[in-house]
Structure 1
């Protein structure tokens, strides 16, 4: 069945900006989201989703009530929610394999939905008017991938590219870099996240080595699972570790002028992790099992044995 706006079939061949204009309500919701103050989300009850990750849970989760992701420039952050079960998935997509990523998002929500009452609602946020038009390309890819799904998917938030764009000193930038979703209410908010644990460098290193999208959360067990991952030694890593911030930005970002200030530092930290762990199956996952965690009441992650 098709992707729908206001219960009408979306013509995904239309320009992205034109799709937004087909629904005054859709455009108004996007503008309202961009005008929100940015909320700072604390660690309690929160799960951070990195690029090329997804996480899904339900309102019945006793440990996690908020999913969120940030640092989306040309990337898009997606939230898919079933209104009957409340099952909610948040994913950070970069266009590496949009069709398989959307299939994984759909499966994550469907596997947590035991009722036929309700509908699937999609929120899509991210991208801006970048010079290479990578944001626009990704918006189109994601729309087409959802349009191919068997189930009806209702697009209720579409805050991408043009409408998520601002200009500062002649430079195009995203208005929204990050969003949070309250799993219990379905509310979407503009947000930032000081806490991105656990295993932030490990998870980023996996992306740098070309890893595909992974589901990091087991909602039934209420636990976060990282890996097990394996990768080949990163080429020329000593060279990259001595480069200045500008070189790192230009080489590793799709939109160097739009990245947050800590991008280069974060990238070098991930590269250092790769240097220190050229064979993660030995140093990080010696028994071939994931690194598993539970969220504690104080917001910290506690490592658990598998």
Structure 2
């Protein structure tokens, strides 16, 4: 169930669910309050995050890669820290912020329970992970009070095809192909929010045309590739992250996204990352196949421009480090072709928070 401005948002329940999601998305994009909220977000300067600049406990955050999600309880306090002063307790609590970037045709979804501040964020990359992904996100957000109105922020995606393709009244398979990647993903998210029993109050809908800029030749690009949400206040800001701040375990987590597509255990699911009760990152084991090693070996021989065309859903809109990050992942796969070197005894890779707000690996004891 969707709310806007405190009121249920009407939708045509007589249409098919897919068509209903599409029609409701179009109506939401035209809503004056949501358009105003998008304009307000676009007026906020993008914050660039870097560990070198922000490595203090008060700025601790959880970063999410594509297809990952995390739920954070801002009230949680990690009692494992050796407090010397009770005033330090607030600085040793769970993550203060949750963020993601690198989204072009993907979308970042934040859902927050305003009664307790519990916040779940996901980086959604395909309609196929939306149904199960929303169930994963909701597992900790609503437990006793089903009537609470959850605040929803949706940022990302852009008009990766002509907006005229999205104005038809009927959806055919051929038409869906013309809608690119962003439109079907956004429609599926709205369709799923509509049919779930929880009450979702949409606060931000900076997606599709609201997140599109055009150059003098008319080519479309996303305005924002990411955002950061405060778990204590629920406010969001546009954000980008550099290589030092996409932590921990950046390369392995990037590889895990690709490997998960061939792992039936992750079919239709988002990838778990952060454990708020312990303030730990737990990277579940994944295996890479000979096929993936062969692909890595083959692709790294191509030029940057060729890789961009072959590996991106939106080649003209990617960040400057897109190809560089792909190459770093392929180099890792070829250096460690046996996935069991990365996940000894098939155990997860676990990272704990340092006093400075960074991350360090928990070494596994092998007996």
**The TM-score by the shorter chain falls in which range?**
over 0.9
Residue 233 (structure 2) pairs with residue 197 (structure 1):
no
Say whether the 8 Å CA contact 2:110–2:120 is kept in structure 1. Answer: yes
Question: Residues 131-171 of structure 1, C-alpha deviation per residue, up to 9 Å, x if partnerless?
Answer: 35211111001111121212111111111100100012422
Q: Does 1:173 align with 2:221?
A: yes
Match of 2:180 in 1: 133
2:139 corresponding residue in structure 1: 107
Kindly report the root-mean-square deviation, in angstroms, between the aligned alpha carbons of the 2 structures. Answer: 1.9
Between the aligned partners of 2:62 and 2:281, the Cα distance in structure 1 is 9
Indicate whether 1:157 and 2:204 are aligned: yes
Q: Secondary structure at the match of 2:345?
A: coil
TM-score normalised over the length of structure 2:
0.77
Tell me the equivalent position of 1:58: 73
The aligned counterpart of 2:17 is none
Which residue number in structure 1 is paired with residue 103 of structure 2? Answer: 72
Higher relative strand content: 1
Q: Is 2:95 the counterpart of 1:38?
A: no
Between the aligned partners of 2:24 and 2:72, the Cα distance in structure 1 is 33
Alpha carbons 1:63, 1:296 under 8 Å: kept:
no
Cα deviation for residue 83 of structure 1 reads 0.7
Displacement after TM superposition at 1:199 (Å): 1.1
Partner of 1:21: 30
Counterpart of 1:97 (choices 120, 129, 136) is 129
Classify 1:119/1:19 alpha carbon distance in 2 versus 1 (closer, same or farther; 3 Å): closer
Query: How many pairs does the alignment contain?
Result: 301
* CA offsets 1:161-198 (integer angstroms, 9 cap, x no match): 00100012422100111100011111111011221011
The alpha-carbon deviation at position 15 of structure 1 amounts to: 6.0
Note if contact 1:56-1:88 (Cα within 8 Å) is conserved in structure 2.
Answer: yes
Rounded to whole Å, the distance in 2 between the matches of 1:10 and 1:295 is: 45
Runs of 4+ residues deviating >3 angstroms: 113-118
TM-aligned CA distance change 1:210 to 1:247, over 3 Å: farther
Structure 1 CA distance for aligned equivalents of residues 144 and 95 of structure 2: 20
C-alpha distance 290-114 of structure 1, shift in aligned 2 (>3 A): farther
Unaligned 5+ runs, structure 2:
12-20, 77-92, 162-178
Alignment partner, residue 4 of structure 2:
5
Secondary structure of the 1:236 match is helix
Closer/same/farther in 2, CA of residues 209 and 10 from structure 1, 3 Å limit: farther
The more displaced of 68-77 and 265-274 is: 265-274
User: If each structure's helix is expressed as a fraction of its own residues, which one has the higher value?
Assistant: 2
Are positions 1:218 and 2:266 aligned together? no
C-alpha contact 2:227 2:237 (8 A) present in aligned 1: yes
2:226/2:238 contact within 8 Å kept: yes
**What is aligned with 1:146?**
193
- Range moving further from structure 2, 202-211 or 185-194: 202-211
Structure 1: which 5+ runs fail to align?
none
How far does the alpha carbon of each residue in 1:254-297 deviate from its partner, in whole angstroms, 9 at most, with x for none?
000000001000011112222223331x1111122211112223
2:360 is paired with a residue whose SS is strand
Give distance in 2, aligned partners of 1:10 and 1:283: 53
